[in-house]
Chain A
Amino acid sequence: MIILGISAFYHDSAAAILVDGDIVSAVQEERLTRKKHDAGFPAKAISCALCEAGIKLQDVDYIVFYDKPSLKFERILKTYLTNVPRGFRSFRIGMPPWLRQKLFLKRVILKELKNSFGEVFKNPIVFTEHHFSHAASAFYPSPFQEAVVLTVDGVGERATTTVAIGKGNKLDIVKEIHFPHSLGLLYSAFTHYTGFRVNSGEYKVMGLAPYGEPKYKDLILEKLIDVKEDGSFRLDQSYFNYMTGRTMTNKKFSDLFGHPVRKPDSEPLTQFHMDIAASIQAVVEEILLQMTRDLATEYKIPNLCLAGGVALNCVANGKILRDKAFKDIWIQPAAGDAGGALGAALAIWYSKLNKPKKIYCSDLMKGCYLGPKFSNDEIEQQLSEVGAVFETVSDSELIKKTVKQLIDNKAVGWFQGRMEFGPRALGNRSILGDPRSVDMQRILNLKVKFRESFRPFAPSVLREDVNTWFEIDYDSPYMSIVADVQKNIRCKISESEKSLFGIKKLNVKRSELPAVTHVDYSARVQTVHQDTNPLYYALITEFKRITGHPVLVNTSFNIRGEPIVCTPLDAFKCFMGTKIEFLVMGNCIVDKKHQKNYLEN
């Protein structure tokens, strides 16, 4: 039984393939079209996922789309009715695509498949609810037989927050909070207010928060949102504009905080914006903690699964874990809409076809390495075609040479095995560095990423050693949990260093691992496991043998504004367009100083 799950037409289109319940492949369209957050029909992702699974489109028994357009349309109509006479402009612009395309999605999918694959798909095309797809993506691959499943995002059809109970192969949504009341949209409103792009800049607000004080937390809780004891909430819509307008917030919102919306190009970030970021982060954390505590008491189930865009807030996830209301938590790594494709496919297998949920000691995501892989022959061929100078070495030599470069404070492009699914690079499409280096943060940002980042890079640490270096002793293979560095490796900060402002604070050495330590001593930890990524595990083990530190800096292999690299050619182009000094792809090593200069263009 082969099931193809699709998410598309809003943001982060993706395709996922299940073969007899086994997650065989999952790919985001952006990686293949090279268009960040590509929301188009995922024709390339489908083709790639099918190819990875070694099957043809006609072998697929079910295609499932991750939400139900008719329910969404109903919510949109209700929104217009509620807001008359406001919203005419939005109606005029928003309605035609619905009537032309979005409402008749089955027809659109068939047409797109015919265009891309030249054949008519004859088997069923079905739809699952948006939040059910998220809940399924969180529960079914989790290692739990029973769990409370919380999904929190901007909005699906109507729901913005849902609670489901998963038991065996049964998953039932039991309660919901509906649009326009949404934690995701509240966070996005502040993302807009602080001058970042909605739907992609939220992580910047999270990264900015540790520089500020949550001075406006009480004001937000008093004016913008009414939160009940159980964590359920409603937003005061008189401050927001997202129901009918083209912006997230209105003048009343700006007046409440005494500043206009920051203009991203001309207005610098000030302490005010940092305090605002700290405040909304604190509010969201408090609400999520209230919610999870109440759910733990109500359902008396020790396990919690999380998904939805808000579950990408790894700072909040860390607090939920440390709060211990639930004994164990598992977070879908592709928590955003891309993961909906996988969830939709899982929903059909377990819920519709009633197949039993198997339980293993770990989850079913295979380390999230679900994308395309390239053999050494393919890598060599692609490198030769562009005239790259490279050498092919054995596995052990590969590791020794890479570690030497890392110790020499070089930025290393590391391209191995199957590409990751979801927003994070987890050691197969990564740029690596030495976390002990005080300069590494700056080197990677300015020479490789061409940006300034509020957040330091993430540490990849051997699972066995995580608790020696970080205040966490828990699996975090998908970089979805933030924890503090251990107190014994922290450095004393002088008064003059304390008084630094903004990003300058980040350059102060705060721990033995300065490149991965944030200004509040937090780090977005990735635990590396031998069973899911043996080569990366071996690399960090060798780095530990020589330096005593079982940690590497891991940042995604891309430059600002581009998706993470997918093919060896993407990686080589990124390598040549940046100051990455050393590129390791499969068993091929490419040293920048041996490349002909003209290739740099």
Chain B
Amino acid sequence: MREIVVLIIFTLVYFFILFPIGLTLKVFKIDLLKIKIDKTAFSYWEKKTDK
């Protein structure tokens, strides 16, 4: 019973929260993880800022 409740909650969270946010990010082409390969970039190193 508890597992079913957990499943329902996580399904709702995924489709009503994550899904719309993720879709919005896609529409506005926001690349949170910097996934794209950038042939023009000089380097892929990222400076560590939050020391």
Contact = CB atoms under 8 A, between A and B. Distances in A.
Interface of A: 77-85, 88, 91-92, 95-96, 162-163, 172-181, 226, 228-230, 232-234, 236-237
Contacts of B31: 82
Interface in B21-50: 21-23, 25-26, 31-39, 41-48
B47 A175 contact: yes
A180 B48 contact: no
Q: How many B residues are at the interface, by size bracket?
A: 20 to 34
Contacts of A175: 45-48
B7 A81 contact: no
B46 A178 contact: yes
Interface of B: 6-7, 10-11, 14, 18-19, 21-23, 25-26, 31-39, 41-48, 51
B25 A82 contact: yes
Nearest to B47: A175
A450 to B, nearest CB: 40
Contact of B44 (A85, A163, A173, A234): A234
A284 B35 CA distance: 20
Contacts of B19: 84-85
Given A84-B18, A177-B46, A232-B43, A96 B6 contact: yes
Nearest to A164: B48
Main secondary structure, interface of A, reads: mixed
Contacts of B32: 78, 81-82
Contact of A180 (B6, B25, B33): B33
B43 A230 contact: yes
Given A82-B33, A226-B44, 14 more contacts: A78-B32, A81-B18, A81-B21, A82-B35, A84-B18, A84-B26, A85-B22, A91-B18, A95-B10, A96-B6, A172-B48, A174-B48, A230-B43, A232-B43
Contact of B48 (A82, A176, A229): A176
Contact of A92 (B10, B22, B42, B45): B10
Nearest to B35: A237
A95 B9 CA distance: 11
A219 to B, nearest CB: 16
Contacts of A162: 48
A344 B51 CA distance: 16
Contact of B46 (A85, A176, A233): A176
A175 B48 CA distance: 5
A253 to B, nearest CB: 16
A557 to B, nearest CB: 41
A92 B11 contact: yes
A359 B10 CA distance: 53
Contact of A178 (B6, B22, B33, B43): B33
Contact of A177 (B14, B18, B26, B44): B44
Given A175-B48, A178-B33, A88 B14 contact: yes
Contacts of B37: 226, 234, 236
Contacts of B6: 96
B15 to A, nearest CB: 8
B48 A228 contact: no
Contacts of A80: 14, 18, 22
A266 B14 CA distance: 38
B28 to A, nearest CB: 12
10 contacts: A81-B32, A92-B14, A174-B47, A175-B46, A177-B46, A178-B46, A226-B38, A228-B42, A234-B44, A237-B35
A163 B14 contact: no
B33 A79 contact: yes
Contacts of B48: 162, 172-176
A174 B45 CA distance: 10
A487 B23 CA distance: 61
A233 B37 CA distance: 9
A77 B22 CA distance: 10
Contacts of A173: 48, 51
Contacts of A178: 33-34, 46
A12 B39 CA distance: 37
